[in-house]
Amino acid sequence: MKPINVGLLGIGTVGGGAFTVLARNAEEITRRAGRPIRITVVADKNMELANKVTQGACRVTDDAFSVVNDPEIDIVIELIGGYGVAKELVLKAIANGKHVVTANKALLATHGNEIFKAAQDKGVMVAFEAAVAGGIPIIKAVREGLSANRIEWIAGIINGTTNFILSEMRDKGLSFDAVLKEAQRLGYAEADPTFDIEGVDAAHKITILSALAFGTPMQFDKAYIEGIARLDASDIKYAEQLGYRIKLLGITRRTPDGVELRVHPTLIPAKRLIANVEGAMNAVLVQGDAVGATLYYGKGAGAEPTASAVIADLVDVTRMHTADPENRVPHLAFQPDQLADLPILPMDEVQTCYYLRLRVQDEPGVLADITRVLADEKISIDAMIQKEPGEGEYEADLVLLTHLTREKRTNAAIARLEKLLVVKGKVTRIRMEGLGK
């Protein structure tokens, strides 16, 4: 049968992986897709690298626009990343009637609404399994596997770099800075890891999952984002003593007042499976009303794991290529005219539990002062530990866990606590999630 022709834009780590896996598993992939999937042309600024990877098996060019304008090409794989030229190329490919496969979460989270609208108008597919959690088929699971459910919430470890850093901090009792340096030396973390450690990468991914789960447009600009750079090794240790692990979670939840969309370090009970996801691995927990909790685990980055998702999309697009557009799976799981305009809940209105660490003077009445502030703000204490001051010290760490409360009440309480003379310096606040029903 006539092959489907693919143009690959970007032959870096993932592009190289896609090229290799597609060649290695060509026969099985053809049996699945119903026709051969052939990379006809690769575009990359680094022609030397492109020639080295492709070894003469296809054409190579440094002009990506020639690929999206090539009438022979049926599917364009965009692996350039970012929202500059990648956006132009994707929109041009769509305008030329080509299907697009992309791993570009930043592009979809920020410009997805425009891209999906263009694809809808043109009757082409935009597939993006590789954009969230690398090799884990989480897009497929949320969009199709769970389509019977009213999805209630999703919580995911969706950034491998930060999970690696947190695991190392816990294992070795090291500071954030020390582990980051080591991760960069070993090549785990990017030379500029800002998007990872500040939570932006995870926010792109949870934005996409939120849209798929609740049938809303992408609303990245309303996501609350807090990274791990300010986490102290002592908090990881105290959390452990209280039976919790700290993970950077992407969380989205449907509430009667709106959708929560947030990324921040989170205490989760150590007994939860997801709390035990270590190193650079990813895991996503999805709560549906019918199925209950489902957990998806695997590699969230890397050449072949991400290529696995890219090629699964190629197979899907190849199978659906000749179907009428209205018979295909909608880009965002819900029919495009059925997207809901649910508001994103401001962070102040989010309700969760909190870990608070205070450095306090060790003298009579301190606890009374502190609990008075919490009682005034109607914050109920769930657990509390006070560490003995060190030899010759007159200050101690006090750690409090609260019951469910609204973020704005916690903020108000923290502001008042920091004004107490017996409280030294800033109060450390980390949110907590039970991740049960």
Using CB under 6 A as the criterion, which residues of the chain lie in contact with ligand HSE when the complex forms?
A: 159-161, 196, 201, 300-301
Cα atoms found within 13 Å of the Cα of residue 85, Cβ hemisphere only: 11
Contact criterion met (CB below 8 Å) for 164 and 280: yes
Nearest to 107 by CA among 88, 83, 123: 83
For 326-367, the DSSP string reads GGSPPTTSS-GGG---PPBPPGGG-EEEEEEEEEEE-STTHH
Reply yes or no on whether 378 is catalytic.
Answer: no
Cα atoms found within 13 Å of the Cα of residue 98, Cβ hemisphere only: 28
Nearer to ligand HSE, 86 or 301 (CB): 301
Contact criterion met (CB below 8 Å) for 330 and 336: yes
Contact criterion met (CB below 8 Å) for 81 and 106: yes
Nearer to ligand HSE, 90 or 379 (CB): 90
Q: Distance between CA atoms of 317 and 433, rounded to whole angstroms?
A: 38
Q: How far is the CB of 300 from ligand HSE (least distance, A)?
A: 5
Nearer to ligand HSE, 215 or 265 (CB): 265
Q: How far is the CB of 88 from ligand HSE (least distance, A)?
A: 22
Q: How far is the CB of 281 from ligand HSE (least distance, A)?
A: 10
Q: How many helices (H) and strands (E) does the chain have?
A: 15, 17
DSSP letter assigned to residue 102: E
Catalytic annotation, pick one of 205, 222, 419, 424: 205
Q: How far is the CB of 83 from ligand HSE (least distance, A)?
A: 15
Amino acid at 367: L
Count the neighbouring beta carbons within 10 Å of the beta carbon of residue 275: 20
Q: How far is the CB of 135 from ligand HSE (least distance, A)?
A: 11
Nearer to ligand HSE, 119 or 158 (CB): 158
Count the neighbouring beta carbons within 10 Å of the beta carbon of residue 125: 22
Nearer to ligand HSE, 215 or 305 (CB): 305
Nearer to ligand HSE, 6 or 157 (CB): 157
Q: How far is the CB of 172 from ligand HSE (least distance, A)?
A: 19
The catalytic site residues sit at 205
